[in-house]
Amino acid sequence: MASETLRLPDGQTFVFTATPSGLLFKYQAADNSSAFSFEWAVNITTHDELPAEPAAGPLSPPGLPDSGKQPTARPAMPCAFQKPTLQDDYFHISSILSPASTASSAGQVAMMLWITLYWYFHQPQPSKTTRPAAAKTTPLVGKPLGEWRVNIQRDGVFRDHRLVVELERMGLVMATNTLVGTVENAGWDTLFVARRAFWQISPQKFLYSLQPVLQTTASHSPDAHLPSYYTPPPLMYVMSNGIRHPARPKPPQMGEIFYTRFIHSVNEYLAFRVPSVSPEPVVYTGPKGPGLASNTHLSAMSDTELIKMWMAKPHVKEFWGEYTDDFLPSALTSPHSFPVIGMWDGVPFGFFQIYWVREDILGQHVGGEAAADFDRGLHVFVGEDWARGRVPYWLSSLAHWCLLDDSRTMSVCLEPRVDNARFLKLLQQNLFHQERQVCPVDHKAMAAAKSTSATCPVDHKNHNAREAWLKQARAANAAATDAASATPYPIPTTPATTTPAATHSWSSTLWSYVPFISGPSATLPDTTARQTSKLAQSHLGLGLDREVSTIPRASTPFTDNVAHPSNHEIESGADPVSGNWIYPSEKMFFDAMKRKGHDARAADMRTVVPIHNAVNERAWQEIKEWEKPYLAGTACEVPRLHSFSGLSTKLTPKARWNTLLGYQAPFDRHDWVVDRCGQTIEYVIDFYPGRPKPNGQLSFYLDVRPKLNSWEGVKMRILRCVGLA
């Protein structure tokens, strides 16, 4: 069977191969040599039978061995693992192959288990809906939600009781039975790992270099052979500037890389390090992805040169003000914060600050319990244009590091302007929520956002920079508006400073319905999170970044004899993480229009592509409303899109009849095939220009409906018509 690559946060690479009983993991040296061999086999099974007596909650313990109840019995005939389930997967390490000179210590087994869990929790997330016997007749939407977890089977390597106890003491596994018990070794047969808990464990606690380190290296060095994780210091309070707060540990040193993470959808490593005042460039020693390096000239610049160059750019200068020579030294000598350089595969792209809220001006304004002892805050700016659009990756990674650095950190805070709706929406899309509004010293309102697990693009002490930033935000922010009649998708709007050319083209058809300008200031609708596989620019200025839609892709092709529409537009594949369809990039869209003979213009793609994506998102929401009554009580949580086809030159019978009655014809038509738990449902979508709004903005109207080419489609249309669905 084909092998796949697993890239760990510390840069180590493993290949894994599917076996009849599970997976085989094998260490892959950086030089691809086989001089050092290390591998282990994992047995994975799915026990999908429901227990006779369901637990009271998702993490409730089963009956105790001496309480008169027996623990829930596992099914006698487990099934082969196909895809993750919510709580019915079991695995154990069945065998280990390591060099004769090394013993399988508890630390080594813990690392193997952590890597296996790292692979498992990167699989598509199963439905959170549970099906306990007590809720057998409850509708699907009313059934309780459970915690995604995997069970550790006491077999293979895990038969060793002392080893299992040590893994539990490390915090890697948990036992459902937490009582002492009255029999020996009681309660150690029901072990599990929850995904929510796994991602709160620092990888440094379990990962270390497998190959022996030949030179003498201090154990606390980043190049050490042993794990480099240490617990936080004990709690002790001190006073700073009249503020009582816990004594803080020293931050990482200048030039030190303190966080790395491989981003699968970008195929690159994201890393954070502390900048240096050295006039020489900081040599990157962290891991890199398998792709070709780009923008490497930035790695040859010192951190002072980088920051000075970035702060001279208009979009940063308006946010942060003028660069001064003491900017970096001041950031490095702050007692309650430290600066950070963000890098993609070692190439710097942005500047951040991580601070303790308690001692910061934000903590002084919110005060009391609102600023907890270990709350962290963030300031950010992205200096490189090619790296803009990757906000979800570095924002979640910064928050992740804050939560890993000290387990007592419960919130990560930011303080954007309260009227910056676009930025607040971006934070909410990334699991932040607005906590309150605070009034700083100049009485300009800020919104304090939190992630319980919010960024200040401008230094909140520099109020002139804040005003400049607000002015720019008002000019550049696109208001996503709804249509007047049938709630169409949001339309991006910008100040109209240019007039579209009169030349007829495919994209000018959209211009007749949407007011916008064609240029670098045009903004994109926020209907989908930007998931990029490679952010770059082609020779025509066309972006190569692609967005992952919210539309799940049907993984199994239909086997019936019905002729379904084919994906003749662009076969863009599915995202390996979410399993959703991936939209084409600007260049892919442009090339496709050229192949079809349309008069496409490269400058238009900046606006046309996001409109195309937003239309599809709106159409999918309509289809989900059609499918909702028929998915209740089934094993399928959502429908999936199997295939699609664009038939702009062929009117549907309904559209043809409407044109005969004097109505305007649709400007486009799509045929979509939807998979409803294996059942084929065909939909047709007519696209119409909507009514103009009072402010002059125009919109789209989508007529989404099942086709009448099957009894199921006829039934759905009739039931919707009479109000029964």
Q: Which ranges constitute the DSSP H helices of 512-644?
A: 586-595, 605-631
* Residue 689 half-sphere exposure toward CB, CA atoms < 13 A: 16
What does the alpha-carbon distance between residue 532 and residue 403 come to, in Å, rounded to a whole number?
25
The CA R_g of the chain, rounded to the nearest whole Å, is: 28
Q: How far apart are alpha carbons 684 and 672 in whole angstroms?
A: 6
For residue 700, report the phi and psi dihedrals to the nearest 5 degrees: -105, 155
Kindly report each contact of residues 8-13 with a partner whose C-beta sits within 8 Å and lies 24 or more positions away, as own/partner: 8/115, 8/118, 8/203, 8/207, 8/262, 9/203, 9/207, 9/260, 9/261, 9/262, 10/203, 10/204, 10/207, 10/260, 10/287, 11/260, 11/269, 11/286, 11/287, 11/288, 12/207, 12/209, 12/210
| Active-site residue identified among 268, 359, 415, 622 | 415
415 is catalytic: yes
Task: Return the structure tokens found at 318.
Answer: 């308006």
Phi, psi at 45, each rounded to 5°: -135, 160
Residue 93 forms beta bridges with which residues? Answer: 42
Angle, alpha carbons 410-415-419 (nearest 5°): 135
Q: DSSP code of 233? A: P
- Say whether 334 sits in a helix, a strand or coil: coil
Through-space distance between the first and last CA atoms of the chain, rounded to whole angstroms:
46
Provide the token pair at 413: 């805070």
The residue among 435, 456, 475, 312 whose CA lies nearest residue 383 is 312
Q: Which long-range contacts (CB under 8 A, 24 or more apart) does 229-238 make?
A: 229/202, 229/204, 229/205, 232/405, 232/406, 232/407, 232/408
The C-alpha atoms of residue 427 and residue 412 are separated, in whole angstroms, by 12
Distance CA 204, CA 118 (A): 13
Minimal CA–CA distance to 249: which of 365, 398, 374?
A: 374
What does the alpha-carbon distance between residue 386 and residue 368 come to, in Å, rounded to a whole number?
Answer: 41
- Find where tokens 């598509």 sit: 124
Q: How far is it, in rounded angstroms, from Cα 192 to Cα 158?
A: 12
| Residue in 551, 706, 662 with CA at minimum distance from that of residue 617 | 551
Which neighbouring-strand residues pair with 704? Answer: 685
- List residues with catalytic annotation: 415
